[in-house]
């Protein structure tokens, strides 16, 4: 399971180091794609396959399904993790997530999220303000 928050630096060549404990679980090649909330998602090839299989089960007759598939699949790239544990972030994804020099690498269960550090801090502050409301909604559906 991918959990925890780590701060890393995006170098001038747009390479980002992944935490060693994440690399063990992710493998040698990862799928990097557009995320939600202005971040990027990083999946192991195995988890990406599970995700895309679920997408494939949805009706392509629905406009939202087509749009969602295009968003995630059209913006996805396979990226090798180099011998130093780094991945190369393509320009279009770097710009989409507004990644600057300081990046938060967050383990979110089956995926990793890459956030600009300043945006992550703002997001976390807003989330903390409404955590109780979110918890109640999750309690209503039996999650907690």
Q: Residue 71 falls within a domain, yes or no?
A: yes
Q: Does residue 132 lie within any of the structural domains? A: no
Strand pairing class (15-17; 86-88): antiparallel
Residue 5 pLDDT class (50, 70, 90 cuts): very high
Q: Is residue 140 part of a domain?
A: no
Q: Is 102 exposed, middle or buried (0-12, 13-18, 19+ CB in 10 A)?
A: middle
- pLDDT at residue 9, as a whole number: 97
Which range has the worst mean pLDDT, 4-18, 22-36, 51-65, 88-102? 51-65
pLDDT grade, residue 62 (50/70/90)? Answer: confident
Closest CA to 15 of 97, 96, 103: 103
The strands making up 111-116's β-sheet, listed across from edge to edge, are: 2-9, 102-109, 111-116, 40-44, 29-34, 77-80
Does residue 138 sit within a domain? no
- Using a pLDDT cut of 70, give the percent of the chain over it: 100
Any domain includes 144: no
Which whole number is the average pLDDT over 23-49?
A: 97
**The pTM is what?**
0.91
Does 31 reside within a domain?
Answer: yes
pLDDT category at 141 given cuts 50, 70, 90 is confident
Whether 22 is covered by a domain: the verdict is yes
Nearest one of 78, 111, 109, 110 to 93, comparing CA atoms:
78
At 87, the pLDDT band (50, 70, 90 cuts) reads: very high
pLDDT of residue 142: 81
CATH number at residue 67: 3.40.1550.20
Domains in the chain: how many in total?
Answer: 1
Q: Is the pLDDT of residue 144 over 80?
A: no
The residue that leads in pLDDT, 137 or 9, is: 9
């Amino acid at each position: 399971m991918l959990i925890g928050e780590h701060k890393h630096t995006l170098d001038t060549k747009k390479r980002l180091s992944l935490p060693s404990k994440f690399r063990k679980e992710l493998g040698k090649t990862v799928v990097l794609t557009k995320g939600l909330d202005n971040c990027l998602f990083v999946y192991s090839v195995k988890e990406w396959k599970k995700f895309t299989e679920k997408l494939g089960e949805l009706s392509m007759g629905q406009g939202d399904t087509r749009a969602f598939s295009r968003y995630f699949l059209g913006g996805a790239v396979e990226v090798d993790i180099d011998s130093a544990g780094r991945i190369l972030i393509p320009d279009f994804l770097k710009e989409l997530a507004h990644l600057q020099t300081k990046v938060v690498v967050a383990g979110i269960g089956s995926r990793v999220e890459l956030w600009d550090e300043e945006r992550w801090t703002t997001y976390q502050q807003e989330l903390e303000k409404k955590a109780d409301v979110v918890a109640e909604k999750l309690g209503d559906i039996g999650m907690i």
